[in-house]
Structure 1
Amino acid sequence: MQATLPSRPQHPNPLALQLMRWFSTMALVAAIFLALTVAAAALFQLNYQGRIYPGVRAWGVDLSGMKPEEAALALTGAFTYPQNEAFILADGASTRTIRPADFGVTFDVGGTVAAAYNVGRSGNLLADWQAQFEAWHTGAQIAPIMTIDESRATAYLNSLAQEMYKPPLEAALRAEGVNVIAEPGAIGRQLQVETLRQTLFGYVRKVEKAAIQLPFTENAPLVLDASAQAEAARTILSQPLVLTVTNSTTGDGGPWSIPPEQLATMLRITRVQEGNSARFEVTLDANTLAAVLTPLAEPLRRQPQNARFIFNDETRLLEVIQPSIYGRELDVEGTINAINAALPKGEHTVPLVFRLQAPPVPDTMTGAELGITELVSAQYTSFKGSGVERLQNIQTAAARFHGLLVPPGAVFSFAENIGDISLDSGFAEALIIYGGRTIRGIGGGVCQVSTTLFRAVWFGGYPIVERNSHAYRVGYYEQNTGSWSGPGLDAAVFTPLVDFKFQNDTPYWLLMETYFYPNAGQLEWKFYSTSDGRQVQVSGPVVENIIPAPEPKYEENAELPTGTIKQVDFQADGADVTVTRIVTRDGVRINPNEQPLRTRYQPWQAIYQYGPGTEGIPTPTPTPDPNATPVP
């Protein structure tokens, strides 16, 4: 059995007791402080119920303790930014001031007061106490709230843009007679409305004033300056236009001058647009210029001319006696372009533009290249007894053919190649057959040349394309020349109606040479080419149906003096004459379809003229009429 010992009494620790008493005191103090704080807070809230907490300001106005309506009244009087001239708009040296209210800016006083009143009233107790304390301790600044009427702002800015809009102005250019008038263009501009809007709104949001350089978009006209074209037009009209022929020769004519007054009627000022740019072109009207130039085209046309040669019988080479000449044709379009290029530069003497055509045979061609290697035909006729004028015409006409070339296969025309027959071109008046009479006319004796050519063609075996005989037998052409004697081989020409033509039916070029021998009274015609082996046999002349010439006829001529008798026409018997030609090569006739050359010559009457009062004029015997009825 265990005994139970009585417990000893325990005494509290003095330090612990002291700490307990301290904590109790502190708890009591904290409780009292908390109670006081809550009571103070409740009293503070009660005091600022419906009022703005202390320390809250807007636009520098202290709103502490104010009711919202009191704050609104205070702010309305203090904040005048929308009505102030806050902005200076600069347009170069010109300025204008505007108010924010002008473009729809208003002060939202209710919103601003509400923002001030809501400081410390978020509903979060701790956050609100902190906000209230910070407002009281350091202050709370509320920015004024402003609203912008977008439609009013747009209308105001668009109106401003319309007021300040400047359209682009194009330069103008015109001519009044010979006076040229130029008006400069101007650059347009358009206000950048959206850029200005954003700039203004940015300053409004910061409630700031500013000087603003108005932003513009510049719009240049397509033609801003026409001064250069105006100067070109004035230059064009400053002097006459003179058209010339470069290296002109006799017969070219010109120069041709167009006065400024006429040029003014041709002046054309054209606006030419290329993409996003344009310019004025100053030219003379092409159609009007063409009307001036076109009549010049035909007189200035020149056919290309082959070089003229002679064949050197010793060296058997060709020698140039006349250089080749390029053909030309007036290039109307090219000349117009040249004129319009030259005149604006002040060049008023403008050469006509030609299209050139090279001749088939230039100076450099050789006999081997042309197939001219030997003499293939030579004939002469006699002109003994011809007068001075007839000799002059024979020599002049024959020279026109000296050195001429006939292409292979070509038909040669005497009339086309002899050119102009006139006193101005070297011919004289001599006897010709015209209208059934032998009379004096320009070019008498040219038929001696055509007849000599005909003989060279005939005995050379070339085809005759056209040949016309004289109306009556002419003694010059019946003289013995060795290869021919008698009638039937003459060739009359009367340009342009009566011609002589033949064809060079060989594959070689044919060179013609003519030689005038006045002392011997002969004209010789030579053909140089390459023989193709042809042989010519001529028979005749066969003269038939001879008709005697009529008795001479006597006519009074009032221009002749008394006692003077002059023969003006010569008698010749009429006859039918036939000449035959056979051309062969290697024994085969190559002209089987050629008909004999038949010529009918008319009987020709001798005619004498006498002056008035001349005695001893024979009286012709009347020719009996077999059909006359006897008179009873």
Structure 2
Amino acid sequence: MTHALPPQTSPTGSSTPFWQLLLIWLLAPALVLTAGLARFEWRYQDRIYPGIQAMGVDLSGLTREEAIAALQVAVSSYDLPPLALRYGDRVWPLKSEELGVTVDIRAMANEAFAYGRDGDFLHNLKAQWQAFWQGRQQSPTLEARPGDIALAIAQRTAYLNRPVSEPRLSLNDLQVVVSPSRPGKWVDIQATKAEVLRRVRSGEGGVVDVVVHEVEPAEADVSVGRQAMEQALDRSIVLADARGEFQFALDPAALSSLLDWVPDSDAPGGVRPEIREEPLRALVESWAKQIERPPLNARFDFDPQTGTLIELSPSVDGYALDIDATLAAIQDAITNGRSQVTLPVQIIRPAVPSDDPASLGIKELVAEGSTKFKGSSAARVKNIQVAASKFVGVVIPPGGIFSFNEYVGDVTAANGFEDSLIISGNSTAVGVGGGVCQVSTTVFRAAWFGGFPLVERWNHGYVVSWYGAPGLDATIYTPNVDFKFRNTTEHHLLIKPIVDTQKGILTFQFYGTKPNWTVETTKPKYSNRVPPPPPLYVEDPDLPKGKVVQFDWPVEGLDAEVSRRVIAADGTVLIDETLKSHYLPWQAKYRFGPGVTPPANAEVVWAKDQ
């Protein structure tokens, strides 16, 4: 018997189980979502996620460089929220430029790009979702220069800083005044700057209160200092020298004007007196001028017959005040409360004292020089006598320098000199003191032939007949042109002038102790002789008709040389020199009246050209 089998369903048939359909239904959306998410992330892998804005600029889908470019445009119109400083009722606005505020655009672009990428997967998805649906407004990334902020604060608040004032002692009309203490204040720039910088970075703006600290003064007792000041001013300081010749005083008023009282924790009462050196030095210098007296050398005459010295005028000690030592002594008196100060007056002994004439070594004739003035006018003779008298009794110490101008003084009528012919510029003219160079020339010759070293000597501008052979003259013109020589002996040297008006001879004798040298001299030698220029005629309408008056005489120009050797007893040559003098040619000069015709070769100066 054959049985028929029931029908079977093929495995490949179209009939699908339910669970498979359910699985497909559940997985399909997930696959679609995953694919969409992958596509989204792939699209924005190097771009800013959608919904992110900064400074009013939509940065969605932009690369970082594109975001930087977009923000660069926006930043030019960006305004920082208002920011100001405040202290009490004063408010100071702050400008972005003075704070050095800048917008860090690159940091903003980097921050926008990092949003939705800087966490784990779910955190990033959430951030991307919120940005997409809700949007994200990114704050500007701001920075400022701390130094500029500190400067802006300091410039506005400098007046608030005030040092602590301790109780202060001062003087008012010799009365001690106590100024009360006062707290100090200082602006805490660091703390204030930190808050300003925080406000800038956060973009908050607003008003920042300036941080100010107060410092209370330390307690101080000024009573001891007050007492010290009152005691210092309740006395005078008397200053006198040991010999009792000079005395000065600083009374309380003077002391008050010369002192400052300065804080000193080591001093009694916390204050000490400090001298105002400049006014005190000026005061002491005025005392020094009153005290100052140069020493005065003794003057002597020598009697060659008896070999004795005769005192003509005694020596006088000089005085000088030691200014620095006086200042120190006054400071010491003020500090230690003394009322008596010994003035440090220095006694200056003269180089030529009169108390021991025998020690001067003046006992014999050492050198001598002479010139002739016979035929001089009465005024010229008078000037020679006056000038020579200035040297009576002069003594030069060993090593000392003789200066003609030092002793002759000012050549003026007030000093007894009269008008006579002198060399003035390029002409012989009438002037005070004509004949004084006769005296300087005579002293020069004594020094020259005596073997003394010359320190300064000038010849005349042209040859002067009064002085004999050219080359042995010495002109002076006070105070600039001088004649000087040095006493190189070991003893004092007495200068003795002798004026013989009968014979017309002027002699200068040097007395001392003969040095151990001999002097060899040569006669003058002449060269480069130049004849006088043509005569000069000067028209003078005041002269009588046909009158001609000569006022200068012709002299040839030349160069002169004269030599000497000074030889010590042992043969050592002490001086070997040649004295050179250059003399200009000198023309004859005339004044002429109306009706005179000058010579053809003459140089003429007409009245209209004068």
**TM-score normalised by the chain length of structure 1:** 0.51
* Contact persistence 2:537–2:602 (CA under 8 A): no
1:463 maps to which of 444, 453, 456? 453
Distance 1:333 1:576, change over 3 A: closer
Residue 492 (structure 1) shift:
1.1
| 2:303 pairs with one of 298, 301, 312 | 312
**Structure number with larger C-alpha Rg:** 1
Q: In the alignment, what sits opposite 1:290?
A: 281
Distance 1:449 1:224, change over 3 A: same
Give distance in 1, aligned partners of 2:531 and 2:287: 56
| Deviation readout 1:305-324 (Å, 9 max, x if unpaired) | 43222223233232222222
The equivalent position to 1:362 in structure 2, one of 342, 353, 356, is 353
Unpaired runs of at least 5, structure 2: 1-165, 181-219, 604-610
Give the structure 2 partner of residue 382 of structure 1: 372
Q: Note the C-alpha offset of 1:528.
A: 0.8
Q: Residue 171 of structure 2 corresponds to which residue in structure 1?
A: 175
Contact 1:171–1:224 (CA under 8 A) maintained in structure 2: no
CA distance in 2 between counterparts of 1:528 and 1:343 reads 55
2:583 pairs with 1:601? yes
Equivalents in 1 of 2:502, 2:250: separation in Å? 55
The answer for the alignment partner of 1:575 in structure 2 is 558
Alpha-carbon distance between aligned partners in 1 of 2:575 and 2:260, rounded to the nearest angstrom: 68
- 1:333 is aligned to 324
Q: What is the SS of the residue equivalent to 1:397?
A: helix
Look up the equivalent residue of 1:460 and give its one-letter code: G
- Any conservation in 2 of the 1:542–1:577 contact (CA below 8 Å)? yes
One-letter amino acid matched to 1:403: G
Could you tell me which residue of structure 2 aligns to residue 621 of structure 1? 600
CA contact (8 A) 1:555 1:608 kept: yes
Q: In structure 1, what is the equivalent of residue 475 of structure 2?
A: 492
After TM superposition, give the deviation of residue 470 of structure 1 in Å. Answer: 0.7
Q: CA deviation at 1:575?
A: 3.1
Figure out how many residues of one structure are paired with residues of the other and give that number: 395
Provide the rounded CA distance (Å) in 1 between the counterparts of 2:423 and 2:356.
Answer: 42
Native 8 Å contact 1:236 1:343 kept in 2: no
Instruction: Work out whether 1:531 is the aligned partner of 2:514.
Output: yes
- Structure 1 counterpart of 2:443, one-letter code: L
Distance in 2 between residues matched to 1:298 and 1:429, nearest whole Å: 36
1:450-491 per-residue CA deviation (whole Å, 9 max, x = no partner) reads 10111111221223343221111112212xxxxxxx332111
**Identity rate, percent:** 36
Q: Deviations over 1:274-296 (max 9, x none)?
A: 77x55977786333221344478
Contact 2:297/2:350 (CA < 8 Å) preserved in 1?
A: yes
Tell me the CA shift for residue 557 of structure 1: 5.5
Determine if contact 1:582/1:589 at 8 Å carries over to the other structure.
no
Shift of 1:181: 4.0
**Structure 1 stretches lacking a partner, 5+ long:** 1-169, 186-219, 249-254, 479-485, 625-632
Alignment of 1:269-280 (within 5 A): 269=261, 277-278=268-269
Q: In the aligned structure 1, how far is the partner of 2:511 from the partner of 2:384?
A: 22
Query: Can you list the C-alpha shifts for 1:231-265, whole angstroms capped at 9, x where unaligned?
Result: 7647769xxx9xxx9979xxxxxx99999998764
Match of 2:50 in 1: none
Cα pair distance change 1:174/1:423, threshold 3 Å = farther
One-letter amino acid of the structure 1 residue matched with residue 494 of structure 2: L
Matched residue SS, 1:620: coil
| 8 Å contact from structure 2 (residues 536, 602) kept in 1 | no
Preserved contact between residue 534 and residue 601 of structure 2 (Cα < 8 Å):
no
**Alpha-carbon distance change, 499 to 339 in structure 1, aligned in 2, over 3 angstroms:** same
Counterpart of 2:314, as a letter, is: P
Q: CA deviation at 1:358?
A: 1.6
Do the aligned partners of 1:377 and 1:527 also contact (CA within 8 Å) in 2?
A: yes
Q: How far apart are the structure 2 equivalents of 1:283 and 1:321? A: 52
SS in 1 for 2:576: coil
Distance 2:176 2:570 in 1: 87
- Aligned-pair CA distance for 1:605: 1.6
Measured in 2, the distance between the counterparts of 1:361 and 1:424 equals 28
- Give 1:172 deviation, angstroms: 8.0
Secondary structure of the structure 2 residue equivalent to 1:394: helix
2:487/2:493 contact within 8 Å kept: yes
Deviation at 1:440, TM superposition (A): 3.9
Cα contact 2:379–2:419 (8 A) shared by 1: yes
* Alpha-carbon spacing, 1:257–1:474, altered in 2? closer, same or farther (3 Å): farther
3-state DSSP of counterpart to 2:514:
coil
Structure 1: how far apart are the matches of 2:433 and 2:544?
Answer: 31
TM-score, normalization by structure 2? 0.52
Instruction: Describe the SS at the equivalent of 1:290.
Output: helix
What do residues 382-418 of structure 1 show as CA deviations (whole Å, max 9, x unaligned)?
A: 2334345444443343333332233334443334454
- Quick one: structure 1 residues 246 and 417, their matched pair in 2 at CA, closer, same or farther if it must change by over 3 Å? farther
Instruction: Give the SS at the match of 2:355.
Output: coil
Q: In the aligned structure 1, how far is the partner of 2:297 from the partner of 2:488?
A: 20
What is the rounded CA distance, in whole Å, between the counterparts of 2:177 and 2:594 in structure 1?
A: 91
Residue 494 of structure 1 deviates from its aligned partner by 2.3
CA distance in 2, matches of 1:617, 1:584: 60
The Cα shift of 1:493 comes to: 1.7
Per-residue deviation, 1:376: 1.3
| Residue 505 of structure 2 corresponds to residue 509 of structure 1 | no
- Structure 1 letter corresponding to 2:321: L
1:444 Cα deviation (Å)?
3.3
